[in-house]
Amino acid sequence: MKKILRTSETHPLTWWLNKDEDTVWINEYKKKGGYLAFEKALHNIDPDGVINIIKDSGLKGRGGAGFYTGVKWSLMSKNVDVKTRYLLCNADEMEPGTYKDRFLMEKIPHQLIEGILISALALRVNRSYIFLRGEYVKAERILKKAIDEAKKFGYVGSNVLSSSLSFEIFLHSGAGRYICGEETALINSLEGRRPNPRSKPPFPAVCGAWGKPTCVNNVETLSNVPSIILHGVSWYKNLSNSSDSGTKIMGFSGKVKNPGLWELPFGITAREVLEDYAGGMKNGLQLKAWQPGGASTEFLTYEHIDVPMDFSSVSHAGSRLGTAIAMAVDNAVNMVSLVRNIEEFFSRESCGWCTPCRDGLPWIVFILKDLEKFKGHKNDIELLETLCYQLGPGKTFCAHAPGAVSPLKSAIKYFRKEFEDGIKLSSTIDIKVVDGVQPNYIVNNDS
């Protein structure tokens, strides 16, 4: 495994870490140059200038979608008469297999706070909320202490650093729902409503939290901002080995020798991450499949292991970079069982707002359980493929269902025989799928 040498020139996110990787509190953070970027933005750059820097840097959202952060900021309402506007930090991180944001919050909380402060300057925001996953109890404790430290040092509160700026950060712990990762569902939950996604337009940039202009950014996204302001656009772009700027927290879980996460440049191959950093598969096991960035991303196979880890390359390979925290599937795993487990999670986490998602995902789980027990029925695979289409992009109210069926669709594509093995050969059920329309599902008494 490669020895990691972190410096501010190569690792803008993680170079702050101390030798023991304990939490970096404010005194240590400031000794290493922490909050200098905020002071630079506060005294030397106007809000539009900050937005232009982030736009020119090419920083993309690190929550999974990969939308350009500077462009998103520029969409915020420019109406100067609107005095109240919000910045929301999405720290919900409910994507199975993903733990990068927790790491950043627990180890370098002030980097996130400084990123929030600079972003608030750019967006002319005076109030921000960190929407934290409810299970992140340790992160909650650390963030509360870090916010208090920032207040004591004059970075948060009234008359920030003796200026006319006043700014508050509030920590809100969610109830633990995957759908809150969708920005409008997050807003509804923050307001005390049921966390259903909202119809768009209007978009949050125009009408978000409590009807005011709102910007929602991910933890890792905001954590990139201080280094970009401090070191500049060219430096940030040159960190990458691809067209995507900067570095990314990447990782591998599963039965690998050294599961974990590392800050790496965009464009490094999945093979390098797996073999050089995660140590390769455990002895006696082989890589069968892998998901590039969370449970909602499509499976890829060993043939794709040399794909560069950036947004466009992974997309061309047939999946999505997502959170870039990959999961390795070994050759001892049955894909039907694995996908059934994934679909059970997404079925449970559906908000129930729209019919395809609410009813389609439990139906998928029902079929997969039969296949897993080798009690499947003729046309089950075709039925699953039909449901993947009916729950695909543009067919549901939000992206929950399309993301949920992505691993299923790809698993059938690459490992169809394992699904075929689950079909009960003696079944007399013959379900016809005509023009995407499926009649009621009837099960034999002996099943």
Q: Sketch out the chain's domains with CATH numbers.
A: 26-238 (3.40.50.11540), 247-328 (3.10.20.600), 335-420 (1.20.1440.230)
Distance, in Å, from the CA atom of 357 to the CA atom of 405, rounded to the nearest integer, reads: 10
pLDDT computed for residue 434 by the predictor:
42
List of residues 6+ apart from 38 with CB closer than 8 A:
114, 117, 118, 121, 155, 226, 229
pLDDT computed for residue 444 by the predictor:
37
Q: Are strands 300-301 and 168-173 parallel, antiparallel or unpaired?
A: unpaired
Distance, in Å, from the CA atom of 59 to the CA atom of 247, rounded to the nearest integer, reads: 10
Per-residue pLDDT of the chain (447 residues; tens, 9 = 90+): 565 667 778 899 999 998 888 999 999 999 999 999 999 999 999 999 999 999 999 999 998 888 999 999 999 877 766 789 999 999 999 999 899 999 999 999 999 999 999 999 999 999 999 999 999 999 999 999 999 999 999 999 999 998 888 999 999 998 878 999 899 999 999 999 999 999 999 999 999 999 999 999 999 999 999 999 999 999 999 999 999 999 999 999 999 999 999 999 999 999 999 999 999 999 999 999 999 999 999 999 999 999 999 999 999 999 999 999 999 999 999 999 999 999 999 999 999 999 999 999 999 999 999 999 999 998 999 999 999 999 999 999 999 999 999 999 999 999 999 999 999 754 544 444 444 444 443 333 333
User: How distant is the alpha carbon of residue 281 from its chain centre?
Assistant: 25
Closest CA relative to residue 289, chosen from 333, 341, 257, 258: 333
Other Cβ atoms within 10 Å of 51 Cβ, number? 22
- pTM of model > 0.85: yes
Distance, in Å, from the CA atom of 76 to the CA atom of 216, rounded to the nearest integer, reads: 11
Q: Are 104 and 130 in contact (CB under 8 A)?
A: no
pLDDT computed for residue 289 by the predictor:
97
Distance, in Å, from the CA atom of 39 to the CA atom of 48, rounded to the nearest integer, reads: 16
HSE-up of 232 (CA within 13 Å, CB side)?
3
Distance, in Å, from the CA atom of 332 to the CA atom of 348, rounded to the nearest integer, reads: 27
Other Cβ atoms within 10 Å of 163 Cβ, number? 11
HSE-up of 205 (CA within 13 Å, CB side)?
13
Indicate the SS3 state at residue 260: strand
User: Which pair of tokens denotes residue 35?
Assistant: 């909050």
Distance, in Å, from the CA atom of 362 to the CA atom of 51, rounded to the nearest integer, reads: 44
CA distances from 271 to 2, 255, 302, 304 (A): 13, 15, 9, 9
pLDDT computed for residue 78 by the predictor:
75
Q: What is the 3-state secondary structure (H, E, C) of 292-313?
A: CCCCCCCCEEHHHCCCECCHHH
